[in-house]
Amino acid sequence: MLDRMSDMAIFAAIIEQGSFTRAAERLEISKSAVSKALTRLEAELQTKLLTRTTRKLNPTVAGLNFYQHCRDIVAETEQAFEHINAMRSKPSGRITLSAPVNFGSTQVAPLMPEFLERYPEVDVDLQLSNRLTNLVAENIDIGIRCGTLKDSMLYFRKLAPLHIVLVGSKGYFARTPKPQHPNELSYKEGKHQCITDSARITDRQWRFYDNNDLIQVTVNGRFFVSDNRAMRSALQADLGLAYMPSYSLNELIESGEIETALENFMPQPVPVHLVYPERKYMSAAVSAALDFLQEKLG
């Protein structure tokens, strides 16, 4: 197929230049390569495409008809290359981003109006999912991963890490004194109500550290919710304590409405990365999105 398309481009050049010599010069190949391409085409089509005299080349009726198809294919090929080169030099086209649901909805989605205004020829498909997406298989240009990276085949850029905090409302702490040790959150102690992602035992296990020693506590609680925005509302309603990234609560903490606890027992910040499968042939739109997200979230 590729050889056939190459021969068609050579035939178009022969007609347009009017001679084998000028076609060879135009394409920067040998005159014999031009002649062989014509021979192959005529043999495959079993049709004479040119009549030759010592002074002039004339296309046959079949040759003229065939040339029109060749010309169109060459023009479309050139347009395709021009389009891709334009995409590489100027951000345009559609890009697909993937992010965890809570991080994407609160940290990425609010940035999109500014990005779209800055790059008016770029469309964004923002996909939010808590499963580990396969960027290559699912045609995703950029993914955001929270936690330690496991896929060494992906390129990455670091973003600001997530700080995990234990928090409760001012009203809750007025009713129930702040805990002094993680074990006070245990369902066995029953001293505190804790708001967790679900009722599953794994989602009720919170990790704390005393220096480098892990303290894992299965917490007590009656209300479970998997969305950070709903968890904020539950905190503000004095329903209990939450163990979550600080980015969801910064303004509430600064205002004093929400207060932190057990600060000396919290885990190390969680790493966050932009990951992407391609670097060498990256489009201008993907490159612009990477730079923008790193600027805003780095």
Q: How far apart are CA 6 and CA 206, in angstroms?
A: 64
Q: What per-residue confidence (pLDDT) applies to 208?
A: 95
Strand positions, DSSP E, 147-296: 155-162, 164-169, 194-195, 205-210, 213-218, 241-245, 258-261, 270-276
Q: How far apart are CA 224 and CA 268, in angstroms?
A: 25
State phi, psi for 45 to the nearest 5 degrees. Answer: -85, -15
Q: What per-residue confidence (pLDDT) applies to 88?
A: 64
Q: How far apart are CA 65 and CA 42, in angstroms?
A: 14
Tokens representing 77 are 């090929």
Q: For the chain (length 298 residues), average pLDDT per consecutive 10?
A: 81 87 89 90 90 80 88 82 70 93 92 96 94 87 89 82 94 93 89 89 89 91 89 93 91 92 94 86 88 93
Tokens representing 63 are 């040759």
Q: How far apart are CA 286 and CA 97, in angstroms?
A: 9
Q: How far apart are CA 186 and CA 190, in angstroms?
A: 6
Q: What per-residue confidence (pLDDT) applies to 87?
A: 60
Q: What per-residue confidence (pLDDT) applies to 76?
A: 83
- pLDDT tens digit string along 110-152? 999 999 999 999 999 999 998 888 888 888 999 999 988 876 6
